[in-house]
Amino acid sequence: MAGRKTKRKIGKLWGYLALIAVAVLWTVPSVGPGVIAILSAFVVLYCLFQAPTWCCATTRKGEFCRNNANGVLLGCRLRQHKWQKLKMAFKEQAPAKALGRMLSNMGGVAASLSAVAGTVSAGVATVALVVK
The domain locations on the chain are 4-131
pLDDT of residue 95: 62
- Residue 107, pLDDT score: 78
Asked if 76 and 83 touch (Cβ cutoff 8 Å), the reply is: no
- Measured at the alpha carbon of residue 98, what is the angle toward residues 9 and 8, in degrees to the nearest 5? 5
**53: phi then psi, degrees, rounded to nearest 5:** -140, 180
Helices (H) and strands (E) in the chain, counts: 6, 2
| Res. 27 pLDDT band, cuts 50 70 90 | very high
| pLDDT for res 43 | 94
Burial of residue 93, with CB atoms counted within 10 A of its CB: 0-12 exposed, 13-18 middle, 19 or more buried: exposed
Which SS3 state, helix, strand or coil, does residue 74 take? coil
Tell me the whole-structure pTM to 2 decimals: 0.81
Residue 99 has pLDDT above 70, yes or no: no
- pLDDT for 35-58, tens place per residue? 999 999 999 999 888 888 888 788
| Euclidean distance between CA atoms 115 and 21, whole angstroms | 14
